[in-house]
Amino acid sequence: MPVSPGDGSNPLLDGLRIEPTPTPTSLVIFGASGDLTRRKLLPAIYRLARGQRLPAQFSIIGVARSPMTDDEFRQQFHDSLKEFAELPKPDDVSSAVAACMGYLQGEMDDPGLYHRLCEKLKTMSAPDGILFYLAVPPGVYGTITEQLGAAGLTKPASDVGWRRIIVEKPFGIDLASARALNELLHKYFDESQIFRIDHYLGKETVQNLLVFRFANGMFEPIWNRRYIDHVQVTAAETVGVERRASYYESAGALRDMVQNHLMQVLAMITMEPPIAFSAENVRDRKHDVLASIQPILEGRPDNVVRAQYGAGWVAGSEVPGYREEEGVDPKSTTETFVALRLQLDSWRWAGVPFYLRTGKRLPKRTTEIAIQFRRPPLHIFKRVSPTAIASNLLIVNVQPDEGISVRFEAKLPGSRMQLAPVMMNFRYGSAFGTPVPEAYETLLLDAMLGDPTLFARHDFVEASWGLITPIHEAWRASGATAIPTYEAGEWGPREADAMMSADGRRWRTL
């Protein structure tokens, strides 16, 4: 007779829960020949299979414009694992997954492609639980959705079947386009079927923010304006635009990083405790955060700083400026760096500034959240240790070295009373002795399970664009033909430092 976890019959199972397994699933990937599929999706599927997290009945159908046979698609899978999953040759797991793979070539606006998809699903005896993944340029999201609806693929053929759709970012380019895309998706899918993916929310450290805040009684009393001086969120990249110039020219750092990733992280930091850990309760509280953010430019045009990288040196290599990159307009005013100062109109956070910055060609690839606490009200050690006491810091490292650090003051060894800041570190990579799952593993599994907790809801997306769109409109109205620059390999422009200096603060040295 099976033993249930925590019933006392088996002490090794006490406190554990059985991991849920998705129901039979067919994964249909639009854009199957693209970089996202090769670099992230296929390796994530393999790792889920190795961890025995995929259902027994599972199939993959790749759809793309590139000509390819089923066998060639399977070979792409093995090549992807060799390059991005450190699997030099196929093993039993990868061979079993490859056996369940098929491929369709066609144009995304061709109705015939979707009729062939219906037939392909039948010939592969694919399960009726279908997850559509739109790993394609945003311009064809609407086309694919309408064609799926016209072909009857958005409704299950049986009582046990289901349909869900994953939509990659960017979800629109402004508030109007995001609303239009939401309306189109809602025409064919219920909100519970739509999974707007943000890979930052799949990262263990970002998810751990909820546990850190709401499962530890020692932090909740100080998580407010009385004890916290300010918060900095940094998402830095060393790379330039690479081969994405055509996309980046129309996006820029504000659309590419702030509207989705950094707004999600900000919501996790500042949200009120949900009444239960359920998708709707968590997402309700996250939406409340965006609703409480003051209009960013209202009365303070210096709340936003944009800039563009010039030529310089990164990691010992000389790199060109943004305007010299292949595919970039020589007169481009697209920002590759943006810094913002935000204020929340809420009881908990009134008066606490939140500083966000993100940029390309910065000295270091890192994403971190730094929560700086107020200094003690009285420096009683100033006679014996005249140096100023450093503020306590709570640092959440999102990537690449996932973990949490706390900086506090301690006495230096010796007969004199001398103080110095010390760090206490927790790292995911070493603490639990198990590999940290990739973000796409977590998010793919949650979508197959139908758990939308780590995905953006339609109102969050629209509220985020409601904050960002006025900034783009103000930039457009200014008619600027040039914007501030910073040398590649530096931490952004002087204007970003001046924004902090005006508040008597400075950016953390990373």
Angle between helices 458-478 and 263-270 (to 10 degrees): 120
Tokens standing for residue 376: 């003690």
Task: Give yes or no for a cis peptide into 170 (omega within 30° of 0).
Answer: yes
DSSP, res 300:
-
Tell me the catalytic residues: 261
Do the Cβ atoms of 357 and 369 come closer than 8 Å?
Answer: no
- Cα angle 181, 367, 268 (rounded to 5 degrees) comes to 60
Q: Residue 448's closest CA among 18, 169, 129, 99?
A: 129
Angle between helices 70-84 and 42-50 (to 10 degrees): 80
Do the Cβ atoms of 287 and 463 come closer than 8 Å?
Answer: yes
Q: For residue 318, give the amino acid letter.
A: E
Give CA–CA dist 368/42, Å, rounded. Answer: 28
Tokens standing for residue 8: 């006392």
Place of tokens 């009444």: 275
Give CA–CA dist 310/500, Å, rounded. Answer: 22
Place of tokens 């009729």: 115
The number of residues in the chain equals 510
Give CA–CA dist 54/50, Å, rounded. Answer: 9
Beta strands of 205-362 (E only): which ranges?
228-236, 304-310, 312-314, 317-319, 337-342, 354-359
Q: For residue 230, give the amino acid letter.
A: H
Half-sphere exposure of 291 (CA within 13 A, CB side): 10
Half-sphere exposure of 131 (CA within 13 A, CB side): 25
Place of tokens 């930052």: 200
- What is the H or E stretch that residue 344 is in? none
Tokens standing for residue 346: 């809420």
Do the Cβ atoms of 150 and 111 come closer than 8 Å?
Answer: yes
Three-class DSSP category at 142: helix
Place of tokens 């039948």: 122
Half-sphere exposure of 108 (CA within 13 A, CB side): 20
DSSP class per residue in 401-448: S-EEEEEEEEEPSSSS--EEEEEEEEEHHHHSSSPPPPHHHHHHHHHH
Three-class DSSP category at 102: strand
